[in-house]
Amino acid sequence: MIEVTYPQTNVHYELSHALLFYQNAGNTVAALHQVRDRQLLAGKSISVQDVEELFHSERQRQKMIFLPPEVVAWSRNEVIWFEKSRIRPIYFNAPEPKRRFLNEISGKNVIWPNLVFRISRNNISCWALRGKNKPNLNAKLYRPPFTNVSNDFYFCPPDQFRATHDENIIDFTRRAADIFFRGHFSHLYGNMERSISYSRGLDRFWIKMAKDFECGKSKTFPNQYLIPTTLTLRSILS
C-alpha cells in the first residue's frame, strides 16, 4: 500500500464584501456592502436572483430535479401545481346542525374539477379550471367549489400541513396537495355558499354529485356551475 501525503499550504483571504439581510414584518431585503479597513461602506440593495447568482458560478453543478407532470411553474419557494379532474373521495366534517347532512356522504367518491394550486411552505391557494388539458398562461381561473377556502382563495389547512417539512419543494407540494384532498371540508362562512352557481347551493351540490356518481349518472364534472374570477394563470405567477 502506498501512502500519499500532501503539503499543507496557508491561504490568506481578505474580507472585501458583506451580504446583509434586513427584515421587517416578514419581508426580507438584501444589501451587498463593500468592506474597507474592516468597516462597512454604504450598501447596494440586490434582488433574490442576484443573491442566488452570487452562490453559483459556471463551474458549479447542481443536481437536477425531475419535475412531475403536475408542475406548471416553480421556484425554490413556491410551486404552481395542477390536478386534473378525476374521481376521488371527498370528506366532510360540517359542525353546523343544519349542515350535518353533508357528513353522511363523507368518504364517498365524487368527480372533482380541475384544480390549480399555488403552494408555498406557509400557504395553499386554490382555483378551479375548465378544459381538459394542463393550463397555459391565459387559462381563466374559477372559484373553487369548497368550504375552507377564503374569498382570497387561501385554503385553511389542517394541522398536518404545518407539520410537513420536506426539504425538496416539489415533494413538499405533492404532500400539501394530498393533504388538501384528504382533509375534511367543514365550516361555511363568508360567501362560500356562493362559490358555485348551482341553484340549491354548495352543500346540496356535493350531495347531488355523490348520489349521481353512485347511480352512474355522473361522468364528468359539470363545469357550467363554476363561477369565473378576474384572474388568469399568468396573473398568479407574480
Q: Is the pLDDT of residue 174 over 90?
A: yes
Where are the chain's structural domains? 17-54, 71-236
Kindly give, in sequence order, each residue whose CB lies less than 8 Å from that of residue 68, ignoring residues fewer than 6 positions away: 170, 174
**Residue 29: per-residue pLDDT:** 81
193, pLDDT greater than 50: yes
pTM: 0.77
Share of the chain above pLDDT 90, in %: 58
56 pLDDT band, cuts 50/70/90, is low
Q: For 139, which DSSP code? A: P
- For 130-165, write each residue's pLDDT tens digit: 988 999 999 999 999 999 998 899 998 888 887 777
Residue 234: closest CA among 91, 73, 122: 73
Bridge partners (DSSP) of residue 129 are 114
Integer Cα distance of 121 and 36 in angstroms: 39
Name, in order, each residue with C-beta under 8 angstroms of 198's C-beta and a sequence gap of 6 or more.
Answer: 204, 205, 208, 225
Q: Which of 28-37, 52-61, 187-196, 225-234 has the highest mean pLDDT?
A: 225-234
Spatial separation of the C-alpha atoms in residues 133 and 144, rounded to whole Å = 18
Q: What is the pLDDT of residue 238?
A: 74
- Candidates 160, 127, 103, 154; CA nearest to 235 is 127
Angle at 172 between CA 186 and CA 21, to 5 degrees: 110
Quote the mean pLDDT of the chain: 87
